[in-house]
Structure 1
Amino acid sequence: MKRLGSLTILSVVIAVAVLAYLLWPKGAEQSAAAEDDDIVASFALPEAITNNAVAKAQGPDGATLYSFNGLTKGKSWQDTSHAAFACVISSQTCETIAPVPVDEGRLASAAVTISGKIYLFGGYTVAESGTEVSTPEVFAFDPEDENYARVADMPTPVDDMVVLPYLDRYIYLVSGWHDQGNVSLVQLYDTRTDGWTQATAFPGKPVFGHAGGMVGNSMIISDGVAVAGLVDGKRKFVAAPFTWRGDVDPDDPAQIDWKPVDPMPGGPLYRMASMGDEQRGQVIFAGGGDNPYNYNGIGYDDVPAKPSDRIFGYDLNSDSWQALGRLDAASMDHRGLVKSGDDYYILGGMDAARTVKAEIVKFRIDD
C-alpha cells in the first residue's frame, strides 16, 4: 500500500426563522457551518467519493463544481475511480459527466482552473499487489463541451502535490510523491505554450498530502507527510509540522523566494481542503486528518486517522494565522477547496468513521 510496505455535510440545513437569525450571535468562535441562512444548498455528488480532485468553473448552466477521479466507498485497490461529476450551484443539482479518459482510476490527482478550463494533473494507480505508480497525464477539460484534451505530460509524474494557479496562465506543482519517494521539485506549467520549466525548488522537507494556496504573488504551503527513514525495512511516515511562504518574482515566475513562517496552530494535518482567497488576502485551510494514513483512512502506524473540523486562514499581509471557525462535522481526505461568491465548498471526503461521503459541505466565514 502507499507506499510499498505500509498499510494503508452536506447535511441538509433548514434556514431558521428571520427573528432567530437576527438574534443568533456571530463571530469567529461560532461554527462556520452554524445553523443560519449561510447554509442553503441541498445537493450531493452522484456517488460517494474521496481523495478526488475538485475545481470550480463556468459551465453551460453557470458556476459549477467539478470532481474528478478518487476513491469510492469500498476503499480497496479495486475502488479507485476515474469518474467525473458536475454540480450546478444555481440549481443545486449534480450529474455524472464523461469520465477522465484513462484506463484505470486515479487517487490523489489535483485540478485547477485557468482561463475557463480545468487542468487535471496526475494521481496514482493501485494494483492488486499494492504497487502504486504516479501517472504523468495532464488533461485540459473544457466545461462548455465537457471534452478532455491531453496536453504536455508532467516532466516528473507526481501525486498528492499542491497545485496552484498564477496570473491566470501558470500552474505550480509543489513537492508531492513520485513512485518511490517525495520530491522537492516545483514544476511550472505554462498553459499558453503547453510547456514546462523548473521553478525554485521547495526548500522544506519534501512531502505528500500537504495543502496550500496562492494570493497575489505569494503562496503558502503547509503540513503534509514526510518520510522519516526505515523501520524494520519499511518506510516510516510522519506528519510534517511546518509552513513555508513562497514569494514569486512577477518578472520571472520560475523564481520563488522561500522562507519558513509559523506553523499552523493546533498541530499538523494531512490532506486538508485549501485554496487561496484573493478577496480575503488569505490562504484558507479546512478539515484534514490528524495521522498520516493510506487511502483507507488507517494510519501507517495502524492507528485510524481522525478528521478535524478546524478552519484556519493564513493572512499574507500580517504573516499570521487566524482561527476562522469550525465545520459542522469533521472531515478529511481532501484534494481542494473551492469558493463561489461568499460560499466555500468541500466535495466528498471521509467522516469520523472513515466512511466515504457523497455530501457537499458548504460554509461561510464570519468577519
Structure 2
Amino acid sequence: KNKTYQDVHNKAFIYDVTLNKWQSITPVPIETPINGLTGRLASVATSIKNKAYIFGGYTVAKDHSEISVSDVYSYDVINASYQKLAAMPVPVDDSVALPYDNRYIYLVSGWHNDGNVNLVQLYDIETDTWQQASPFPGKPVFGQAGGNVGNTLVICDGVRVDVHINKRRSYAAEASCYLGKIDKKKPSKIAWQLLPHPTGKSRYRMAAVGIDSYQKIVFIGGSDNPYNFNGIGYNGQASSPDNGVWIYDIKTHGWQVKTMSNATMDHRGLLFLDDQLLTIGGMGKNQQVLQTINQHGNINDYL
C-alpha cells in the first residue's frame, strides 16, 4: 500500500464467487530470484478453461533498477497447483495477454528491460512452445490495453518512448488503436490495421475485455497521465483515475464512449461475470491502492 520497492510481493489469492470468499494460495513461483527478489510488478495474466496463465513482470531493487522476468506459469484452479511453462523468448512486462481458440495466447508489445518492443509473442498451450507472430504495427508501448472477440484483436494506447537530441529520452502517452485479424489457418499471421481512436486522448493501464456473447470489446478506467508504480506521473504530477468507458463493436466497427460512476486506474484486466464488469484492486483517488472488487456496472447499462 505504500507503493515502494519494499511493497512488491508474490503473494497470491483466489476468490470463490459462490462462497463470496477470498483465500490465500501458494505464492507465485519464480525460477531464479533476481538479487533475492521474488515479487514482481506488471505481470500479465489470462485464462483458458480451468487454468490461469501468468507471464513475466519485473522486479524492483532498492536502487530502483528494474529487470524483466521471463518466467511463465499456469495455475490449475481445480487442483490448486502451479506448473512452470516454457519461458518467454523476450521477457516483457506491462504487456497484454489475449487468449484465442482455447489454445493460443498472444503477448502484444510491452516493456523489455531497457525499452519497448513491437513483438507479438505467441504461446501454444498444447505444445508448450513459443513463436513470433506478425509484429505490432504501432509504436511499441507499455501499459496498453486490449481485448479480443474470436480472432479479432483491439489494442489501444499505452506509453511510447521518445528520443531527443542532446537530452535523455522521455515517456509519452500514445493515443492510438489497432485492430488485428488472426488468420484462422495460420495463427501466427495477423492482419493489422489502424482504428480511429474513440477520444483522441490516451489512457494508461486501462482494464479491457472482449465479450463474445455481445461482440464487444470494452475498455474502462486508466489514467491520462502515465506514471511509475507509485502513481506519480513521469512528468512529476500526481496521476488521477478516469471514469471513461469505451466500447468497440465488432459488427458495426464503431465506438461508443460512456462514463461510469467510479474512476479507477492501474489495472491489468477487466473481468466479465454474469453481465457485470469487474476489476480487482488497482488505484483510486489520490493514488490509493484498492483492496476491493470494483463493480463497474452491467454491460447493458452502456449499450
Could you tell me the TM-score, scaled by structure 2's length? 0.94
Please state how far the C-alpha of 1:94 moved relative to its aligned partner.
1.2
Which structure 2 segments of 5+ residues have no match? none
Q: Secondary structure at the match of 1:353?
A: helix
Q: Secondary structure at the match of 1:312?
A: strand
2:245 maps to 1:317: no
Q: Paired residue for 1:80? A: 8
Please state how far the C-alpha of 1:240 moved relative to its aligned partner.
0.4
- 1 or 2 for the larger relative contact order (CA 8 Å, sep ≥6)? 1
- Alpha-carbon spacing, 1:231–1:239, altered in 2? closer, same or farther (3 Å): farther
Q: Paired residue for 1:254? A: 188
2:55 maps to 1:121: yes
CA distance in 2, matches of 1:232, 1:84: 44
Q: Paired residue for 1:17? A: none
**Residue identity in the other structure for 1:221:** I
**Residue identity in the other structure for 2:14:** A
Structure 2 counterpart of 1:336, from 257, 269, 272:
269
Structure 1 counterpart of 2:214, from 277, 280, 289:
280
1:129-178 deviations in Å (ceiling 9; x for gaps): 11100100000101012211101000000000011000010000000000
Query: Which segment drifts farther, 86-95 or 185-194?
Result: 86-95
CA distance in 1, matches of 2:270, 2:49: 18
Q: Paired residue for 1:170? A: 104
Q: Paired residue for 2:170? A: 236
CA distance in 2, matches of 1:266, 1:246: 20
Q: Paired residue for 1:26? A: none
Q: How does 1:18-57 map to 2 (within 5 A)?
A: none
Q: How does 1:1-367 map to 2 (within 5 A)?
A: 73-102=1-30, 103=33, 104-230=38-164, 233-265=167-199, 267-326=201-260, 328-362=261-295, 363-365=297-299, 366=301, 367=303
1:28-83 deviations in Å (ceiling 9; x for gaps): xxxxxxxxxxxxxxxxxxxxxxxxxxxxxxxxxxxxxxxxxxxxx01001111111
| Superposed CA RMSD | 1.2
CA distance in 1, matches of 2:216, 2:164: 37
**Residue identity in the other structure for 2:183:** D
Query: Which segment drifts farther, 350-359 or 314-323?
Result: 314-323
CA distance in 2, matches of 1:99, 1:235: 36
Same amino acid, percent of matched pairs: 45
**Residue identity in the other structure for 2:94:** D
CA distance in 2, matches of 1:314, 1:231: 39
Q: Paired residue for 1:18? A: none
Say which one has the larger Rg. Answer: 1
1:225-271 deviations in Å (ceiling 9; x for gaps): 00011487432100000000000110000000000011132611000
Are the equivalent residues in 1 in contact too, given 2:198–2:257 (CA < 8 A)? no
CA distance in 1, matches of 2:286, 2:259: 22
CA distance in 2, matches of 1:99, 1:364: 32
CA distance in 1, matches of 2:222, 2:149: 21
